[in-house]
Structure 1
Amino acid sequence: MWAHARWQGRLLPAGLAPGERLRAYASWCDAVEGNTTFYATPSRSTVESWAAQTSPDFRFVVKLPKPVTHEHHLMGADEVLRAFLDAIEPLGPRAHALWIQLPASFSPADAGTLAAFLHRLPRSHRYAVEVRHRAFFEDERSARLLERVLAARDAEWVPFDTTVMFQSPPASDAERDAWAKKPRVPRRSRALTGHPIVRYLGRDAEERTVEGWRPWLGTVAEWLREGRSPTVFIHTPDNADAPVLARRFHDEVRALVPDLDPLPTPMPLPEPDEPLTLF
């Protein structure tokens, strides 16, 4: 995500070598979703580069590989899982949580499978689970069942708040793509651990994105006052201005909790070259 094409030359210096792009992103935000690991497990040398470009307190929320969660449904993919855990080891303390995103087909009937899977995972990591089956959000018994499974392993439930996206029909290609692909579930804002994680999806229009995150400001501020350490990821359909919006969200929370540390100062863009003239 830190190599997003729409950020190059606008928010991040253009033409950076691959081994410098994350460093530039980390001057804007102090956490990142490791979504690419869902599609392919990186080499240890690649992960070593990620660690070298970030401070020890930078947060990676790294998604488990697709074969583990979506193809084998948490069963019988031990070799893939071992390779993944070995690959991310160089992150050390930067591996804030391992993100177990489950498909919409994963229902309350599968809670036992999740419990057994979490029980087998090494205790050296923190885990966060994202579910998309509507029963977990609409049926109180199903929600409590999942909470018990997660609490037994001190794992977090990751809400993906898409409510503002589905308030009105999409108005652009990017919004239409999000409308077709993103889960349509109710907002959930109950933290289970000291390290809640929130994923929020806004709209193309900045004012609609900002209005949609208003309920989260008080929630996140209260978590901070309680001594929790939340991580919030701000998305829009095309993510063109996601780092700017993330910083605005952080500033609005900080207005409510003044002792919250500021984000780093963004890496400056190089001055444009002076145009050539004949005189």
Structure 2
Amino acid sequence: MWSHNHWQQSVYRNSTQQAERLARYAEVFNTVEGNTSFYATPNVQTVQNWYAATPDDFRFTFKLPKTITHLKQLQDCSQELQDFFKAMEPLIEKTGVWKIQLPSSFGPEKLSVLTQFLDEIPQGLNYGIEVRHPQFFAKGDAELALNRLLIERGINRIIMDSRPLFALPPADEAIIDAHKKKPRLPVHPIATANTPVIRIIGQTDGTIEALATTNPRIQIKNNDSFFSNWLKQLPIWLREGKEPYLFIHTPDNQTAPELAIRLYKQLQLQLANELPLRDFALPKPQHMPNSQLDLGW
């Protein structure tokens, strides 16, 4: 997301204008998940505003509407596809990955439906598919067939890493809600195309208050152990010339920007002498003392 009331100081530099939030966000990060398109296709003016708010090298990732992926489950949706991409046309050049998130009910028996759907979507664009059916994570014939299809079509398999989330006790409403909504599935770090997509559901401030720790900024350090394997995998993909997309969520998303910066800096240190990465940094909140800004570096 790029709009969150809690980010007034950390991302928006105390700007109170809702319309400025995307532009402020794009000054810090270079990609975002446009989740709103999952619930409704934006109108033309909104799409043009998003384009104008971001620099040329900024990359969106938009989910296809749930009408296509969940209600119709990729069948008989040619008109919906046409309407969606017509509305999103101004942002095609700034969209790095078009995400096809499938429900847990979309299982191996529907791979033929997926194959046909991949013939119908606009060609020449970069797609990622997120599956949630357990058989696609069982390392059996179903997963092999899915991976083979994605590799043949040059489509990325979106990887959800919810281990940090499910390592938390149900200590507050945000965590309980996330436990209900997010999938608890194995993490298979496979790159089926050139832009692997990783979504990490990390731990954050709300957890800290619930567990009565003393420093709310310290809790994000608990994510480090879950990120350690990614510090090994991401450099491999980068050396191979791949362009990974890494998105950080938390149950309440309040400190997701700080967590994203922290994990990115670890990767930056890992590759300092080999593959220099651009800097990302949050603006310094004017009302907070330096001691509260220490993210552990």
Higher relative contact order (CA 8 A, sep 6+): 1
Shift of 1:124: 2.8
AA matched with 2:28: W
How many residues were matched structurally? Answer: 272
1:255 — aligned with what?
269
Q: How far apart, in 2, do the equivalents of 1:148 and 1:99 lie? A: 18
Which residues of 2 match residues 175-214 of structure 1 at below 5 A? 175-204=175-204, 205-214=219-228
Alignment match, 1:80: 80
Contact persistence 1:12–1:269 (CA under 8 A): no
Query: What is the CA distance between 1:164 and its match in structure 2?
Result: 2.3
Match of 1:125 in 2: 125
Question: In structure 2, what is the equivalent of residue 241 of structure 1?
Answer: 255
Residue range with higher mean Cα deviation, 87-96 or 257-266? 257-266
User: Any unmatched runs of 5+ in structure 1?
Assistant: 273-279
| Aligned residue type for 1:213 | F
Deviations 1:115-154 (A, max 9, x none): 1101111113111000001110014211111012212321
Distance 2:168 2:53 in 1: 40
Aligned twin of 1:149? 149
Deviates more, 1:203-212 or 1:213-222: 203-212
1: CA distance, partners of 2:64 / 2:184 = 22
Moved over 6 A (4+): none
Q: Partner of 1:200: helix, strand, or coil?
A: strand
- Which sits farther off after the overlay, 131-140 or 103-112? 131-140
2 CA distance for matches of 1:113 and 1:19? Answer: 40
Whether the 8 Å CA contact 1:99–1:129 is kept in 2: the answer is yes
Task: Return the offset for 1:2.
Answer: 1.1
TM-score by length of 1: 0.91
- What residue number does 1:106 align with? 106
Q: Is 1:134–1:185's contact at 8 Å kept on the other side of the alignment? A: yes
Q: Note the C-alpha offset of 1:187.
A: 0.9
RMSD of aligned alpha carbons: 1.8
- For residues 203 and 247 of structure 1, what CA distance do their matches in structure 2 show? 14
- Who is 2:208 aligned against? none
Stretch of structure 1 that moved more, 2-11 or 106-115: 2-11
Q: Map of 1:4-153 to 2, 5 A cutoff?
A: 4-153=4-153
- C-alpha displacement of 1:270: 7.0
Structure 2 runs not aligned, ≥5 long? 205-218, 289-297
Higher-helix-fraction structure:
2
Counterpart code for 2:149: V
Corresponding residue of 1:222: 236
**SS of equivalent residue, structure 2 residue 247:** strand
CA distance in 2, matches of 1:268, 1:53: 22
Residue 75 of structure 1 contacts residue 117 of structure 1 at CA under 8 Å; is this kept in 2? yes
- What displacement does 1:264 show? 4.4
**C-alpha separation in 2, matches of 1:143 and 1:56:** 37
Does structure 2 conserve the Cα–Cα contact (< 8 Å) formed by 1:30 and 1:263?
no
Counterparts of 1:168-179 in structure 2, within 5 Å, are: 168-179=168-179
C-alpha distance after superposition, 1:133-188 (max 9, x if no partner)? 11100142111110122123210100111122223532222111111111010011
CA distance in 2, matches of 1:55, 1:264: 15
